[in-house]
Structure formats: C-alpha cells, structure tokens
Structure 1
C-alpha cells in the first residue's frame, strides 16, 4: 500500500466524508478510499455508456463542481416540481 495526499479538499466535502465514515464505523481514510473506488468505477461505467440520462448528466456536472449531494438533491427536486407543474400545460402557438 502507498500513501496519497490530497490538498485543498473543500471543508464541506471533508465534513460529509467524516459523517459518512462515522455512520458505518470507518476511519476518514477508509471511507475516502471506498469513495475513490466507487468514483473510479462510476467513471469507467460512464465511459462505457455514452447515452446518459438527463439526471445523470446533471449529476456529473455537479460532481465536477464538488457540489454536495444535498445541494444536488434540492436542485433536482425543484426541477422535478417545475416539470410536474408544466406537465400537460398547453403551449401557446403550438398547433
């Protein structure tokens, strides 16, 4: 095994990892390694599947910006609520 130093980790991200580690009884390093593995697997899967859903495309944009999952979930909930409000609404000028 070897060591890896990651600098400039945003404080909110570090807190999220610490909380996730505590929930499952892992160390911060152990949880970070698990998340790195999952991230690598997810990245490989997206390369194999170029036709992502809109949800997955938006999620990957948030991940690239290091947005927190709760922030992503709230924004997606707002988008979904707006979509449901517009569902079935007549479009002006559309014949």
Structure 2
C-alpha cells in the first residue's frame, strides 16, 4: 500500500482532524483517510456530464406527448427553412 505525505497543513486543520479522530476512535491517519474517501465520493457524485439549458427546461416542464413532439419538429423545420431563405439576403432599410 502506498503512502501519502501532505505538507503545510495548518495547525487548526490538523487539530480539527485530530479531534474528529479522537471522537470517532480513529488514529489521525485513519481519520484523514476517511475524510479523503468521503470527499472522493462527494466529488464523483458531481461528475455528471454537463447539461444544456434546454435539458434543464425539459425537466421543469412536463414531457411532450408524441403529437406535441411532431408539432414542435414541424415548427423547427419551418424556422430552419425560413432562416435558409433569408441567408445572404440584404437587410431592408439598413444604410
């Protein structure tokens, strides 16, 4: 098993870990390992992939029915077609 040396820990932090160790019936080393393990579990819980704002809104609002999904897809297709028609067109009244 490997060793880990942590340098420059404040006296207050070392004292807090020592007090926790005494309270929990552990050695200073065992208590430090327990705290590190707990921190690693907390970090891994937060390793979820990043989500977009749209994903967040989807959670807020109820899921779309199949008909609503089709309607939404149709609207998005119309928007995309309009965007493509307007692409490269000079702006009216823009001087």
Q: Structure 2 length normalisation: TM-score?
A: 0.49
Query: Highest Rg: 1 or 2?
Result: 2
Larger relative contact order (CA 8 Å, sep ≥ 6) = 1
